[in-house]
Amino acid sequence: MRKNILQHIGAIVSSKRYEEHLTQQQLAQQTGRGLRHIQNIEKGRVNASIEVLADVIYRLGLSADVLFYPDMPELEQQTKQLLCKFAACTEKERAFLLKTVDCMVEQMLSQNERAAGDEHEE
């Protein structure tokens, strides 16, 4: 595997861990891994196994695509990360989120229709 992909994966894991306000030690504990192993992943020094990466990305709410496709557009990365977080929620939490998002989208569409109607009247 190319060294630069290991560094890319490490940088993404480190950045996301920081966003989640986790220390390396906390991530290690929450994924059942050693601190040194997490440190080596973040520095791009090791080729982590699929099992380890699966635990890390699940805990951080990352999409594997974000790790392996560095040229993916930012909006697509954000969408995939949101879907990963959604998948980590309980069924009850997902139902609540879906209803909330549906309501928000309906409000936005309604506002867009009103704005378009106002433009046509002018």
Q: What is the CATH number of the domain that holds 66?
A: 1.10.260.40
What parts of the chain have a pLDDT lower than 50?
Answer: 1
Is 8 part of a structural domain of the chain?
A: yes
Q: What angle do CA 29, 12, 81 make, to 5 degrees?
A: 90
Number of folded domains that form the chain: 1
pTM for the whole structure: 0.65
- Whether 113 maps to a domain, the answer reads no
Residue 116 placed within a domain: no
C-beta neighbour count of 74 within 10 angstroms: 7
pLDDT at 113: 86
Residues with Cβ within 8 Å of 88's Cβ and at least 6 positions away in sequence, in order, are 58, 61
Supply the range of the domain harboring residue 12: 3-71
